[in-house]
A = this chain, B = another copy of it.
Amino acid sequence: MSAHGWTTPAREALRVGAGFRLADLDPRETPGYEGSKTTGAADLADGVPTLDDLQERLFAQSVAGTASGSVLLVLQGMDTSGKGGIVRHVVGAVDPQGVELASFKKPTAEELQHDFLWRIAKRLPARGKIGVFDRSHYEDVLIGRVRSLAPADEIERRYGAIERFEADAADRGIRVVKVMLHISKDEQKERLAARLDRPEKHWKYNPGDVDERELWDDYMAAYQVMLERTSTDVAPWFVVPADRKWFARLAVQRLLLAALDDIDPRWPVADYDVEREKERLASS
């Protein structure tokens, strides 16, 4: 992979390590990247053929039954942080046949009758696929914590449960890439205002968004705890400053590329006699 404007690999520059403090990160920063919106867009376009090639190789393995791994991109972030844009502009650049997208809304009555990971486990990506979670089990320690949707000891229990769940997923060959899209409160205000200003964007706005916004500091505190307690070696968190959409998209593309590069999927070798098949085909 060529590096372009990257001075430090995204995976290093954005990774949550010991002592990370969300409050110290400026959502307008572009850690590890020295470039502008223009070079960022060019670098994003440059990454597409490689992403496409790696994804097709992985998909080929799934068809051939030789895939051992998959990728799971987990997207979290406050309203308007750009999760949908990542799905559209980063993930949307590859063949939809190789992507399994799961969008987690408010749990249904049936889901609430089960452990919080029940609905999540069902949507883990198949071997050879790229899974994308638009929101995830982390809602259960974010809004779950902020709004006290479960008893305190149950919220507490979940951090450990998540760690075991993800360790098990990693053990089965799922590369878990967890991304928090980090926007500032001011940027959110602008984005919400833009939705209210244009009638064709009204559907994207919900009065509840302002209610959640009033709890901004509580959410940031819940994110901080989440990052501290669930950023592990096998499933680290990456905090992507997202006030600049172009940077967020570029960064997530790089993180996906790195995960696929780790898997290094090779084209499957034919499990049939190629020369013999050429003959059979010729005489058919």
Contacts and interface: CB of A to CB of B under 8 A. Distances in A.
Interface string A94-122: 01110101010000000000000000000
Interface stretch (A145-153, A154-162, A206-214): A206-214
Contacts of A189: 281, 284
A278 B198 CA distance: 12
Interface majority SS on A: helix, strand, loop or mixed? helix
Contacts of A99: 96
Given A87-B95, A87-B96, A97-B87, A281 B193 contact: yes
B277 A210 contact: yes
Interface in A236-264: none
Nearest to A276: B207
A280 B207 contact: yes
B101 A277 contact: no
A187 to B, nearest CB: 13
Given A97-B88, A97-B134, A267 B199 contact: yes
A213 B283 CA distance: 11
Interface in A178-220: 189, 192-193, 196, 199-200, 202-207, 210, 213-214
Q: Give the size range of A's interface with the partner.
A: 35 or more
Nearest to A269: B202
A60 interface: yes
A277 B96 CA distance: 37
A214 to B, nearest CB: 6
Contact of A196 (B101, B134, B206, B274): B274
Interface in A115-140: 134
A268 interface: yes
A3 interface: no
Across the A-B interface, give the 7 residue pairs with the lowest CB-CB distance, nearest first. Answer: A202-B270, A60-B203, A203-B268, A200-B267, A64-B203, A207-B272, A88-B95
Given A202-B268, A203-B270, A205-B270, 19 more contacts: A60-B200, A60-B204, A61-B203, A63-B203, A64-B203, A84-B95, A87-B95, A88-B95, A92-B95, A97-B103, A97-B134, A196-B278, A199-B269, A199-B270, A202-B274, A203-B268, A207-B272, A207-B277, A210-B284
